[in-house]
Structure 1
Amino acid sequence: MSDRTATTTKIVFIGAGSAAFGVSFFQDLFATDELAGSTLTLVDTDPAALERMAGLARRLNQATGRGLRIERTTDRRAALDGAGFIVNSVAIDRNRLWQLDFEIPRKHGIRHTLGENGGPGGLFFTLRTLPLIFDIARDVAELCPDAHFINFSNPESRIVLALGKHTGLKALGLCHGIFLARWFVCQILGRPEREVEVVGAGLNHFQWLTHIREAATGRDLYPALRALEKDHDPSFTPLTRRLFHAFGLWPTCSDDHMGEYLPYGWEAGEHGFDFAGDEKNRAYLQGLIEDVAAGARPVPEDWLKPSWGERAVAAIGGILHNRKRYIESGIVYNNGAIPNLPPDLAVEVPLVVDAGGVHPVSLGPLPDAVAKLLQVQAGVQQLAVEAAVHASKEIALQALLIDPVVTSTDAAVRLLDELWAINAPYIRPCV
């Protein structure tokens, strides 16, 4: 039976030139009938990337018969007028600046993993990204104040924290990290992912699985995980497993992402992100998109099926049609969702969405030791946001000096000077 409904909306996708995320978002959008007939407005500052993704959207719209109205523009303000939902995936000169975020601290003796959401890299992602996010937020407040803002840009926790503390935006961050954690768990359990349900709470890329259950029966699978993990390949996600042994719960979402928040995160590898491989994959994907959009190649079969782990379209459909939909994990302003973490913090917990908006599901307090570990990172994120909001180099230094990844005052000062100069074109007060 069709889910087609007369209720439609306008979805504005800012940063639509993002090929990798754009494809997964389109997969979900065109795989459902819930948003048939709605308007999809694609926004990007790169006209070529924008036209490429608009062409793909038109092709998928035609192939699925969803009847969406596809628009594209480089004018963000024109796009936002009348929007019900904004999906954000913007990044500023992503790979070039990110690579500097990783290499410059390492040059000064800082041992870290990815340099994106934690450590010095997380700070500079915050400093250069928040001014743009606040520009968008001001436009939303003026042009579509009732719209829901769904964020996929990193650093997720800091963006949602800043918006929750300093704006009235209806902000929700989404990440597929909890599903990646389930994949790791299922490798040890020897089970397909569809047979396992996980529930977690904590910070983005640093959730803790409070429950691991058999999907069909609700049976607790933690005993089986503890038994099987003892004999599993010791080279498999070793840092995660050390914390599992110490704290009793499985942390998300992978050694390198979680390791960004820990002074010993480098023990699981200091290789950083594969920038060269990413550029190669992007070039291939862009070529494929161009060919599919032009009709030179058939639409890949996977592109006509729902994506793995992205939940933006499910959230939009639940809110639009008042379907009280469970979303496994989302990043929200805390306000008591995790009672033993600060209220002015962005946390990641399960959600229910309906016409009333986004409703965090509190799992109660985290175990005391877990909460204390997360509280260290809470202060780092709070200071990083204030440094960005006020464009304060002084607060930025304080954020570095309380970050457990930073192990030298000299290194903190030197890397701050160097990365601040590089990012100066983007750093400015937000409020």
Structure 2
Amino acid sequence: MRIAFIGAGSIFTPLGIYTIATSEVLRNAEVYLVEIDDERRKFITALAEKMRKTFKAGFGVTPLESVEGLEGHGLDYAVISVEKERYERWKLDFKIPHRHGIRQVLGENGGLGGLAHTLRVVPLVLEIARRIEDINRDAGVFIYSNPEPRVTYAVLNYTGLKNVYGLCTGYLERKEMLAPILKADEREISLIAGGLNHFTWIRELHVKGEDAYPRLDEALKKRPDFEPLSQLLYRTYGLFPSPDDNHIGEYLSFAWPLIPEEKKGLKWIERTKKEGEEVRRLLRLFLRGLVPKFAFNRFVKFPDVAMNVVEGLEGVEKLQEAINVPNRGYIDLPKGTIVEVPAEVSPKGIKPLHVELPREALVPLRVQAEIQRLSSEGAVEGNVEKVIKAVLLDPVVHDAEAGLRAMAELMRAHLDALPQFDEGDIEILRLMAFS
């Protein structure tokens, strides 16, 4: 079994390697760590070697500087988690629209920031995907790179790869947040949810197999401060959303005033950056032998999502509670939209499950489904007309002129990362704003 982590310096990779090291099914895999940054490549290689020895696993470790290096090795599974100058560019994705009065909560996966993010990341991942296609078009490919469903849509529609899945830890984060409210261990919580990535509706919620919605109802009566946006949506539609207020809020016009300051904008970006640095600090301590095996085991509450799926495909049948796949009737949304649903995983393959949602709850998802298509296609094709349509469809764009001017400024700021666009495309946006 040959598994490549592409963008191996990502925060997702250590958990993936840990899952391999502690899995009876995966512990003898050949692991390829593809990372262009020398320092990060050396660190993750040393960490993988340390985990192999600590957990007495038999997997092999091969560091590589580029995807091309995989050609001599072959490939069964690839995990893609690449980004370019993530935090510096994310700050621009938030600040520029904000200057134009666009109140987007995060500017990472939705809003104009999410659109600019899509235009940058899609070409980056598509180039990698085409290299994988040359090596093994039947490989299982798992995408963590955000905006994850839009990137997944592009790879599925513009390459010959068919076994492509978008993955996210959002459903696990929702369990973590609900655990104290439900007075339960997060590992005792299970859920069935459906929708779009970062905006799903929890159809079934259980603690130790028992319906936990009544318990949630009682708990929320005592906690009006807990996720006011999610509570509003729950009272309105009868289903609690996932993963949390600031992620859901990226897709709703009325979210901004409901989200606390510390959970949006630049404060959230800095918090996310610091959390990543704290995880890396712990990993450095583990590498130095200052975090013992038992403590590391306690720290890791859930397996890596990608390796959990691979484990299922390689023999351990399981229910994967959230996976992003092209819609084939799983939800009442347009065919081909990348939707997030549960799936049964076994050596026979991945079988997504149908999730029935109330008609009204589907309406905001339908808008985002169209933005997903337009932004992905616009990113691949360098099609500024599709970018304009995505801007004017977005619920957080309160004013057409402001939205188009902000998008023109965003594209100019990131033009060095947008090889599919040029100054002429930016001029079209600018002229549209003043027409």
Q: Distance in 1 between matches of 2:172 and 2:132?
A: 31
Alignment partner, residue 5 of structure 1: none
User: 2:35 — aligned with what?
Assistant: 44
1:261 corresponds in structure 2 to 251
Residue 284 of structure 1, CA deviation: 4.9
2:222 aligned counterpart, secondary structure:
coil
Q: Retained in 1: the 8 A contact 2:16–2:303?
A: no
Q: 1:144 maps to which residue?
A: 136
Task: Give the number of aligned pairs.
Answer: 414
Residue 221 (structure 1) aligned with residue 212 (structure 2): yes
Ranges in structure 2 where 5+ consecutive residues have no aligned partner: 422-435
Map 1:44-193 to 2 at 5 A.
44-79=35-70, 81-169=73-161, 170-193=163-186
Structure 2 residue 227 is matched with structure 1 residue 233 = no
Alpha-carbon deviation of 1:48?
0.6
Provide the rounded CA distance (Å) in 2 between the counterparts of 1:129 and 1:73: 21
Percent identity between the two aligned chains = 33
Q: Distance in 2 between matches of 1:214 and 1:75?
A: 44
Pick closer, same or farther for the CA change 1:213–1:289 going to 2, 3 Å: closer
Say yes or no: does 1:13 pair with 2:5: yes
Q: Which has the higher helix share?
A: 2
Deviation at 1:300, TM superposition (A): 5.9
* Amino acid corresponding to residue 140 of structure 2 in structure 1: H
Name the counterpart of 1:197.
Answer: 190
> Hey, what's the Cα distance between the residues in 1 that align with 2:346 and 2:172?
22
Q: Where does residue 244 of structure 1 map in the other structure? A: 234
What is the root-mean-square deviation in Å for CA atoms of aligned residues? 2.0
Provide the rounded CA distance (Å) in 2 between the counterparts of 1:383 and 1:91: 21
Is 1:314 the counterpart of 2:304? The answer is no
What does the per-residue CA deviation read over 1:191-242, in whole Å, with 9 as the maximum and x for residues that have no partner? 3323332110111111111011232xx432223322332x222111110000
Structure 1 57/307 Cα, relative in aligned 2: closer, same or farther at 3 Å? Answer: farther
Mapped partners of 1:303, 1:397: distance in 2? 48
Q: 2: distance between equivalents of 1:46 and 1:300?
A: 28
Report the CA distance shift for 1:188/1:79 in structure 2 as closer, same or farther (over 3 A): same
Task: Report whether the alignment pairs 1:209 with 2:202.
Answer: yes
Three-state SS of the structure 2 residue aligned to 1:197 is strand
What is the alpha-carbon distance in structure 2 between the residues aligned to residue 429 and residue 379 of structure 1?
21
SS of alignment partner, residue 153 of structure 1: coil
1:420 corresponding residue in structure 2: 411
Measured after TM superposition, the shift of residue 17 of structure 1 is: 0.8
In structure 2, the residue matched to 1:374 is 365
User: How much does 1:44 deviate?
Assistant: 0.9
**Distance apart, 1:144 and its partner CA:** 1.4
Find the aligned partners of 1:154 and 1:233 in 2 and give their Cα distance: 32
Distance 1:244 1:205 in 2: 16
Superposition deviation, residue 245 in structure 1: 0.3
CA contact (8 A) 1:208 1:249 kept: yes
Any unmatched runs of 5+ in structure 1?
A: 1-8
Task: Summarize the Cα distance change of 1:235–1:224 in structure 2 as closer, same or farther, 3 Å threshold.
Answer: same
TM-superposition CA deviations, 1:52-79 (whole Å, max 9, x none): 0100000110111111110101121212
Q: Taking structure 1 as reference, are residues 279 and 373 closer, same or farther at Cα in structure 2, changes over 3 Å only?
A: closer
Q: 1:172 to 1:258 in 2, by over 3 A?
A: same
The normalised TM-score by structure 1 is 0.90
Render the CA deviation track for 1:50-109: whole Å, top value 9, x for unaligned: 100100000110111111110101121212541100011111110000110011100110
Q: Shift of the alpha carbon at 1:283?
A: 4.5
Partner deviation per Cα, 1:264-323 (whole Å, 9 max, x = no partner): 121213532534344445445445544543x463456443464436321111111123x3
Deviations 1:139-185 (A, max 9, x none): 11111111100111111111122223333321111112112223333
